[in-house]
C-alpha cells in the first residue's frame, strides 16, 4: 500500500477532505451557480435512466425477461461502452451545447430592435 512521508495511506482508505468550493461563486451570482449544479445533476439523472433503459432492452432481447438483479449485475461489453460513450457525447452536445454559443449579438428580451433576419 502506498503511503506519504508520514506513513499515511494514500488509497481509498484515506479520510475525505472536504474543500471549501461550496462557498465559491463562479458564475457571478450564487443562484446561477446553484442553477448550473441543478442542470448538471438533472443531465446525469437523465443519462443514467437512459443507460438503464438500454440495459433493460438488451436483457429483454437476450433473456426475454428483466429483473432488478439482472440489471444491477449487467456487465457492459466493449461495444456497449463505445456506443454509450458516443450517445453520451451526443446528449451532452444537445443539452449543454447552448452554453457554448456566441452571445455577442444577444440582447435583452424587451429590446425594441427585433432582429428577425438572423433566424
pLDDT in tens, 5-41: 666 655 555 566 666 776 778 878 888 888 988 999 9
Look at residue 83 in the predicted model and tell me its pLDDT. Answer: 94
Please state whether the predicted TM-score (pTM) of the whole model is above 0.75: no
Between CA 39 and CA 47 the distance in angstroms is: 12
Identify the CA nearest to 56 among candidates 69, 71, 42.
71
Amino acid at each position: 500500500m502506498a503511503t506519504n512521508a508520514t506513513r499515511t495511506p494514500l488509497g481509498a482508505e484515506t479520510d475525505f477532505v472536504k474543500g471549501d468550493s461550496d462557498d465559491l461563486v463562479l458564475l457571478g451570482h450564487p443562484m446561477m451557480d446553484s442553477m448550473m449544479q441543478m442542470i448538471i445533476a438533472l443531465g446525469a439523472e437523465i443519462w443514467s435512466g437512459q443507460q438503464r433503459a438500454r440495459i433493460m432492452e438488451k436483457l429483454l432481447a437476450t433473456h426475454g425477461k428483466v429483473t432488478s438483479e439482472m440489471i444491477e449485475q449487467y456487465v457492459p461489453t466493449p461495444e456497449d461502452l463505445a456506443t454509450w460513450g458516443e450517445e453520451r457525447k451526443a446528449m451532452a452536445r444537445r443539452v449543454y451545447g447552448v452554453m457554448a454559443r456566441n452571445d455577442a449579438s444577444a440582447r435583452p428580451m424587451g429590446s425594441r430592435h427585433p432582429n428577425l433576419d438572423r433566424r
